[in-house]
Structure 1
């Protein structure tokens, strides 16, 4: 069985983006050595990427080549009439059931890319196995929360932590 793993950057106050979806606060973290904060090793361990429609739109808005080439990518959406995209499969089926079926397939792990609402829905459904949060030395104040709309407690176990010279701290948790 494959694991569903959340790997994401968040501000110290728990936001993954500013109110307008921006990531300026993240790009302002000095990183002269181009430290990848564990991303490269994580990326090699996954074969599938899942995300919500807002996250997909944000990635497209960057105007760069699709960054997840070679991975099976799914975008969960309730939007009707979405233009086909050769990089992703749009899914309007029940996300919980769909992700449960993905986890049962053979292959590398699944990356839960975001966003905040989608993260919360997967956590509520007890589908997230591992949570890796790279905490940035920044306070955003308001914006999109890591788990937007989550209103209950979820116990986690710390697996490990890593401090980087950039001031970023990678926290790895396992769902209990």
Structure 2
């Protein structure tokens, strides 16, 4: 059975983007060789990338025009199969993308059809829907060493009470900490 894994980078006060869409400037506070190596290890385990519509469009815009120094990460991001979960997207130009109208139904089905990992990056609205449907097998949260004070929180009101078990903690010299939990 495939595992559905949430991967997000948030601030210590819980924001996953600033006040505007794609205000991810705080990511630089967590970035370094250790986080890059961790991300590459994750990418090697991914069978399918999963995005909500807004995250999909932003990621597609970035990764299809990625700078040369993004090398190996860009190769993975551009070549892996992707699901764009949206009721409004009509077309997807990013290589290897399938548009999914009913995310909960399709992801439930895909979880039973394979053994690799599916990762949800960003995608706060989609993540909340998947949490409510109890579909996540693991949560991987990287905490950037900063209080942002305002922006868009990853975990909104209305998500269910999900008791978690910590399975791993990684600390990096940048001050970032990665927490891994399973329900």
In 2, the alpha carbon distance for the partners of 1:86 and 1:35 equals: 25
Task: Kindly report which structure 2 residues correspond to 1:1-176, keeping only aligned pairs within 5 A, or say none.
Answer: 1-21=1-21, 22-27=23-28, 29=29, 31=31, 33=33, 35-36=35-36, 38-62=38-62, 64-65=65-66, 67=74, 68-79=77-88, 82-87=90-95, 88-92=97-101, 94-175=102-183
Number of residues paired by the alignment? Answer: 172
Cα distance in 2, alignment partners of residues 69 and 10 from structure 1: 23
C-alpha RMSD over aligned residues:
2.1
* Unaligned runs of at least 5 residues, structure 2: 67-72
Q: Matched residues in 1 for 2:168 and 2:156: separation?
A: 24
| Maintained 8 Å contact 1:50/1:75 | yes
Residue aligned with 1:24, SS: coil
Bigger drift between 36-45 and 2-11 goes to 36-45
CA contact (8 A) 1:50 1:114 kept: no
Give the Cα separation in 1 of the matches to 2:61 and 2:157. Answer: 25
Q: TM-score, normalised by structure 2?
A: 0.85
> Aligned equivalents of 2:30 and 2:163: distance in 1?
33
Cα deviation for residue 78 of structure 1 reads 1.6
Which segments of 5 or more consecutive residues in structure 1 lack a partner in the other structure? none
Report the CA distance between 1:151 and its aligned residue: 4.0
SS of equivalent to 1:39: helix
TM-score, structure 1 as length reference = 0.88
Larger fraction in helix? 2
Deviates more, 1:121-130 or 1:148-157: 148-157
Q: How far did residue 15 of structure 1 move?
A: 1.1
SS at match of 2:155: coil
Taking a change above 3 Å as real, the CA distance of residues 127 and 166 of structure 1, as seen in their structure-2 partners, is same
The alpha-carbon deviation at position 34 of structure 1 amounts to: 6.2
In structure 1, what is the Cα distance between the partners aligned to 2:8 and 2:15?
Answer: 10
Cα deviation, 1:52-72, whole Å, max 9, x if unaligned, reads 001012223436249422311
- How far is the alpha carbon of 1:85 from its aligned partner? 1.4
